Structure 1
């Protein structure tokens, strides 16, 4: 009888232990977290190309042992822990040797850009926006799909569509050796030769969003380690110019996916189109019935758009793509300074001897175009659009566009 009771107790304790293991494993994973809006670019590779076969190994014992002491906090509203960036470490080493750190103009500019983000994220500028104060651990996995990780070179790149992301993705593909050339049968070594239409395939890039599949409950801890020790960078652009560029690229030329997913919706809601709409982008362009820039802006401002899905990545705000208040970036590049910033960054990453930033024609949508593009947009909508993208303007030190600033000043002077 005593033996039978002992077996029952052992069974109950064993069951409880298994339940606790399952709960611990799924902690922080919260299920698959399927993205509510699957980006249209995620397609399989065409025949002839293949991705480099990679196996993600479980974290080593040493990694697991370190994880307990590793933590990552975003920009706190009360205190800041100095980030040990490569530039600062070099400066500290120079000071130890008896000299003063001599900042180059580029290094001073980078420090100013990073300090601006600290000021805005800490609330010093008085700007509130969604997610400003949340911890990195509170960001769902599905919202970390733009943070590409290269473990070999210890790099994390947050890509922003319409900000030279094609060429930077090419560089990440070469560094990670994730795409095999059908000509040589080997991984690409020259970013310029990587087909532009292939680099946007999600299977080529290992992002934070994929960690839960490989590491389970260890995901958050490993992210914290990588965020603490890897070099993190992103490139940004004037928010309104980026919107113009996105519209030109997706709606001023036939694009079947974007016409069906977005263009037809804009025409149906705001186009006053009588009768049935064209079923394809080619038919719409042939009939001369395509979305206007004003309809595009109206779509962005429509509360129904936000309820339906997260903004498409081509016009989603950078602060929602890359989480600058939670991720302390070591380098913030600007498209307006693409050549010099790219050269500086490759040196910082210590890969300038391996490759160069691809040259060639680039998107030439310029800030000088803003006045003409927004001329037909009512001032109330311009002001509302600015508020929608104000965090990006403030975080990355972009001035209010003249087309908005002038009217805001006039309106302000008339307000009691």
Structure 2
């Protein structure tokens, strides 16, 4: 009983340390100078050419197959094909020359890159809890070789850039237009985003007066998008990780990903990823993992008022000018093309 209570006391600390490390690694990445990246001496392939090729690949993708695994496998193969096209061009030279940060989890045969505002907190909590549980089970076995629970958890949540090649390598992505709305609602509306200080300065808005307005912030969504456009038009690498283009952060050409998941189909992709990493996983264990991942408590700032909750994300873009949208499309176009999202948020779903 005493041992059990000891582990319960360690759990919050382990998760807190892991979250702290993740947040630090995200912001540390932005400190690397882009000037260390040498330009290619060969004539660059025109981005328009690669963009056109990816458009044709997107049009050819269909949902064939009779079961979840075959459908997901085919869609994943098409996404990896598009990434291959992209990496053959010089467009990928815009990626920051930094090591790709992955969580390497041997218990799951999984290496996972996390991106801000793409279920990253849920993944951290899931990995911390399941790795801790595995360590508690195996800690007393001499063959494991860990002197303490802390050492075991740390070793099995390694974030070194020396990725384990026997693991499947995964990154989850999200519709960039939905991601921007999520950042606005989570960080601006809820007053949790100190990194947006430059936006308040840009529009001569007091953050103190904005805090008093609660769910009706003085910084509008269009003003927020304008700040992103102005900051990211020359070098989107310097945008905050919460709204920096996803392709710039996870190193699609250097990490050797085997699986690309989408937040929009997280439930099915979670099953696909776990079955791919552990082909012999039982239905019982898979159900247990899903319950841990999707059954956790919601964070306080995720609870929004009914009006904001029912507001569809497209409504946020209804008054965005064509010029501003064109600038945003230029910043996020590779997120759109590589992962098969809409170029304009108001485009009807076909």
> Is 1:129 the equivalent of 2:57?
no
Decide whether aligned partners of structure 1 residues 283 and 163 sit closer, same or farther in structure 2, where only a CA change above 3 A counts. Answer: same
Is residue 153–residue 175 contact of structure 1 (8 Å, CA) maintained in 2?
no
Give CA deviations for 1:50-89 in whole Å, capped at 9, x if unaligned: 22999xxxxxxxxxxxxxxxxxxxxxx99xxxxxxxxxxx
User: CA offset at residue 323 of structure 1?
Assistant: 0.7
User: What corresponds to 2:270 in structure 1?
Assistant: 342
Q: Give the number of aligned pairs.
A: 259
User: What's the secondary structure of 2:238's corresponding residue?
Assistant: coil
User: What corresponds to 1:87 in structure 2?
Assistant: none
User: What corresponds to 1:11 in structure 2?
Assistant: none
Higher helix share: 2
Q: TM-score, normalised by structure 1?
A: 0.52
User: What corresponds to 2:113 in structure 1?
Assistant: 158
What CA distance in whole angstroms lies between the structure 2 residues aligned with 1:343 and 1:118? 25
User: What corresponds to 2:98 in structure 1?
Assistant: 140
User: What corresponds to 2:289 in structure 1?
Assistant: 356
What CA distance in whole angstroms lies between the structure 2 residues aligned with 1:374 and 1:139? 33
What CA distance in whole angstroms lies between the structure 1 residues aligned with 2:172 and 2:345? 23
User: What corresponds to 2:343 in structure 1?
Assistant: 400
> Is 1:233 the equivalent of 2:170?
yes
> Is 1:282 the equivalent of 2:211?
yes
Structure 1: gaps of 5 or more residues: 1-45, 55-76, 79-102, 187-201, 212-221, 406-416
User: What corresponds to 1:267 in structure 2?
Assistant: 200
What CA distance in whole angstroms lies between the structure 1 residues aligned with 2:237 and 2:333? 20
Matches within 5 A, 1:2-401: 49-51=12-14, 104-123=70-89, 129-131=91-93, 139-141=97-99, 144-145=100-101, 147-177=102-132, 205-208=157-160, 222-223=162-163, 226=164, 228-255=165-192, 258=193, 260-262=194-196, 264-270=197-203, 272-273=204-205, 277-279=206-208, 282-283=211-212, 285=214, 290-303=218-231, 310-350=238-278, 353=285, 355-357=288-290, 358-360=293-295, 369-401=312-344
User: CA offset at residue 158 of structure 1?
Assistant: 0.7
User: CA offset at residue 239 of structure 1?
Assistant: 0.9
Decide whether aligned partners of structure 1 residues 289 and 394 sit closer, same or farther in structure 2, where only a CA change above 3 A counts. Answer: closer
Structure 2: gaps of 5 or more residues: 1-8, 19-43, 46-68, 140-153
User: CA offset at residue 370 of structure 1?
Assistant: 4.7
Is residue 163–residue 237 contact of structure 1 (8 Å, CA) maintained in 2?
yes
What CA distance in whole angstroms lies between the structure 1 residues aligned with 2:259 and 2:77? 9
What CA distance in whole angstroms lies between the structure 2 residues aligned with 1:296 and 1:179? 43
Is residue 232–residue 239 contact of structure 2 (8 Å, CA) maintained in 1?
no
Structure having the higher Rg = 1
Decide whether aligned partners of structure 1 residues 204 and 280 sit closer, same or farther in structure 2, where only a CA change above 3 A counts. Answer: farther
What CA distance in whole angstroms lies between the structure 2 residues aligned with 1:308 and 1:392? 12
User: CA offset at residue 206 of structure 1?
Assistant: 3.0
What CA distance in whole angstroms lies between the structure 2 residues aligned with 1:300 and 1:347? 38
User: What's the secondary structure of 2:190's corresponding residue?
Assistant: coil
User: What corresponds to 1:35 in structure 2?
Assistant: none
Bigger shift: residues 369-378 or 113-122 = 369-378
Decide whether aligned partners of structure 1 residues 203 and 254 sit closer, same or farther in structure 2, where only a CA change above 3 A counts. Answer: farther
Is residue 118–residue 172 contact of structure 2 (8 Å, CA) maintained in 1?
yes
User: What's the secondary structure of 1:149's corresponding residue?
Assistant: strand
Decide whether aligned partners of structure 1 residues 278 and 331 sit closer, same or farther in structure 2, where only a CA change above 3 A counts. Answer: closer
Q: Cα RMSD (Å) of the superposition?
A: 4.2
Is residue 120–residue 394 contact of structure 1 (8 Å, CA) maintained in 2?
no
User: What's the secondary structure of 1:322's corresponding residue?
Assistant: coil
Q: TM-score, normalised by structure 2?
A: 0.61
Decide whether aligned partners of structure 1 residues 306 and 291 sit closer, same or farther in structure 2, where only a CA change above 3 A counts. Answer: farther
Is residue 232–residue 329 contact of structure 1 (8 Å, CA) maintained in 2?
yes
Decide whether aligned partners of structure 1 residues 289 and 180 sit closer, same or farther in structure 2, where only a CA change above 3 A counts. Answer: farther
Decide whether aligned partners of structure 1 residues 296 and 205 sit closer, same or farther in structure 2, where only a CA change above 3 A counts. Answer: farther
Decide whether aligned partners of structure 1 residues 311 and 47 sit closer, same or farther in structure 2, where only a CA change above 3 A counts. Answer: farther
